[in-house]
Each structure stands twice: as C-alpha cells, then as structure tokens.
Structure 1
Amino acid sequence: MKRHLTKELEDDFFFVHDSIVYGVLKRCNIWFDHPDYDDFVQIGLMKLVEAYEHFPDDLFHEKGFYQFTGYAFQKVRWALVDELRKKSLAMGRETNWPDDTDSWQTLTVKDNEDWMIWELLPSMLSCLAPNEQKYLKDTVLNQLSVTEIAKKYGVSRKTVYSWKNKTAQKLEHYRSVLTK
C-alpha cells in the first residue's frame, strides 16, 4: 500500500513527526555545527515521508501511530547511518599519494604542515614492522580497504585490524608533532 502525503496534511504531518528526524540526528551524534547537518536533515525528512508512504497500517489509530513512530525512526536512522558511512568512505579515499616513493621529493609544498608530513613519512615507515608498513602503504597510497588488504595478503580481516591498531599506536608520537 502506498499513500501520498497531500498538501493539506503536510504541515500537520511535519509538525507532529519531524522530531523523529532530529532524534535520529542526535542519536547519530550529528549536531547543528556539523558541516553537512542541513543535508542530513533533508535526507531524514525525505526518508520520513517515504516511511509514511510505505507504512502498512492505519496512522489514524493510536496503535498505528506509535508503530509508525518506531518504524519511521528506524527507516530514517538506517538512511542517515548509510549516508555517514558513504561520506566516511569518500573522505578516506579523497587524498591520493603517488605510488612511487622516489617522486615524493619532487612534490611541491603548499604549507608548513604538508612539508612536515612529507618529511616525516619515511621515518614513520621506518619505525613500523613489515606488516604494518604494508598496511600503511596499502591504505594510504593504494587506498585499499581492510577487506582488500586481507585478500591481497591472504590473511583475515582481524589480522589487518591488528596491523592497523599497532600502526596507530606506533604513530601516535607523530600526531603530537603534527598538531604542535
């Protein structure tokens, strides 16, 4: 059954149910100062309307009203979590570093922080174990996911996560150097 949200019901519907969207945003720790906050609100509102259109029970009975609230909350939550995941993956893969390490010295430096990162990278690699170096190179340079790295080396994802955690621990010192 597909119902349509008419113009007459639209204002009342959003007055009653838009708090679902803001509740999901709060649950997902997306606050008003998040750069994509307005986008997430719009996605949530669209999913709220979609939930209304596809909800199988009658909304004008008390039982249906409360069931719709839970149904809509879950529908909006899934959509926002999915959008957060997509944005996280996209941000993680935006920076491309050259594949061959010889060209690192010929890169132009835009500001002091970039220069520090390029200067520290060889020493970062030198303090890591061979498997941790593989992880860092495949993650940063080749932009492979944990699953792809696990397949590449024939190990479990748990092993790759172990490499990741050990790498993060060993490189914690560099974070403090870069944030000074």
Structure 2
Amino acid sequence: MTYDDFDILSPENQRLIHGALKKYGIYPHSQQYEDYLQLARLTLLEAYKIFQTGNHPNSRLNVFIYQRICWKLTDALRKEQRRQSKMARSTDEQLQQLAEKQTISEAASIEYQLFIETVLPHLTAAERHYLIDVFLYDLSVVEIARKRQVSRSTVYKWRNRLALKYLKFFQK
C-alpha cells in the first residue's frame, strides 16, 4: 500500500485514533475533542509516511501508528496544561491588581474590597477571568469571548453565575 492509497477513514484507523483519544480521556463531549481528533488524524498520516520510509515489518504498522498518536497527544495535553497553569498564575496576579485598584469612590471601594475578599474564594476560574476582564481591563463580552476562546453565551453564563453569587453575598 502506498501513501496515496492509505485510507485515514478506514475502520481500523478510526479505532486506532479513538483508542488513543479514549486513553487520554478525550471524548466527543469534551470541549477540545475536535482539535485533538484532527491532531490525531494528522499524526496518523505522518506516522504512516515515516513508517513507509523505514525498514519496519508491516505487522507492526498499527503499533507504530498508535504509539505516535499517543506521543503527539501527550505533547499537546502537556502544552495545554502548561498554558492553563501559566494563565492561572497570571490570574492570581491580576486579581491582586484588581483588589488594589482604587478607581471607585472611597465608600464604594470598601464595599468592593469586601466583596472581592468574601466572594473570590467561591468563584470558579472562569468567573475570576470574567471579573478580571470586566473590571480591570474593561472588556466587552465579545472581547472576553475572543480572548478566552469561548462563545459569547459562555461569557454570559459566567456573568450570570457571578451575579447570582453577588446577590447571595448581599442577601446575608
């Protein structure tokens, strides 16, 4: 079989791809499933091309391809984890700046500081990002969606959950 005859959509190749995705807990309902699926497909083609240029017995083709896909997914997941970790560290620094920001009147500033200190531990990372982007950087919903690479409806959900937590805080 030549590189041009190789069928990426064959059931056997699809089993290799989905098996590797499953190994790493990447399922169709996952947020970045399509990205990782495409990465696995490209890796499958690259692995087949590399396999054809080497001196490998054909009986090891599936093992070779599966291993290459797993390696590529591992690299991609580690890269994403580092990016998320970096964002979390920068978020903490931004939250500190947000708490120190004194652009509101003095009475409102005290209430604002109290809100930040009380509610902040109960916020999700996404709600913290929303809070930072709105109050520190004065971004719109569309700008936040673009920056965080999510849909506008997701940003609205963050805002609504944050508003509910804010209301609970003032009802006490």
If the length of structure 1 is used for normalisation, what is the TM-score? 0.49
Q: 1:98 touches 1:104 (CA, 8 Å); kept in 2?
A: no
Aligned partner of 2:160 in structure 1 is none
Aligned partner of 2:47 in structure 1 is 51
Query: Structure 2, unaligned stretches of length 5 or more?
Result: 104-112, 122-164
Q: State the shift of 1:118 in Å.
A: 3.6
Matches within 5 A, 1:1-180: 5-6=3-4, 9-11=5-7, 13-15=8-10, 16-55=12-51, 56-57=54-55, 64-95=57-88, 96=90, 97-98=92-93, 104-106=99-101, 118-120=116-118
Q: 1:44 touches 1:79 (CA, 8 Å); kept in 2?
A: yes
Q: Name the amino acid aligned to 2:101.
A: T
Measured in 2, the distance between the counterparts of 1:24 and 1:105 equals: 46
Measured in 1, the distance between the counterparts of 2:73 and 2:15 equals: 15
The verdict on how the C-alpha distance between 1:100 and 1:5 changes in structure 2, with shifts beyond 3 A counting, is closer
Q: State the shift of 1:89 in Å.
A: 1.1
Q: How many residues align?
A: 109
Question: CA RMSD of the aligned region, Å?
Answer: 3.6
Measured in 2, the distance between the counterparts of 1:100 and 1:25 equals: 35
Compare the two structures and name the one with the higher helix fraction: 2
| Secondary structure of the structure 2 residue equivalent to 1:98 | helix
Q: State the shift of 1:18 in Å.
A: 2.4
The verdict on how the C-alpha distance between 1:105 and 1:38 changes in structure 2, with shifts beyond 3 A counting, is same
**Which contiguous aligned blocks of 4+ residues in structure 1 show a shift greater than 2 angstroms?**
95-103, 105-108, 115-118, 120-123
Q: Deviations over 1:79-125 (max 9, x none)?
A: 001101111111122242337957624279xxxxxx889415999xx
Q: Deviations over 1:3-59 (max 9, x none)?
A: 9621xx143x5303221111000111111111110110111011111111111246x
Percent sequence identity is 21
Measured in 2, the distance between the counterparts of 1:77 and 1:83 equals: 10
The verdict on how the C-alpha distance between 1:67 and 1:102 changes in structure 2, with shifts beyond 3 A counting, is closer
If the length of structure 2 is used for normalisation, what is the TM-score? 0.51
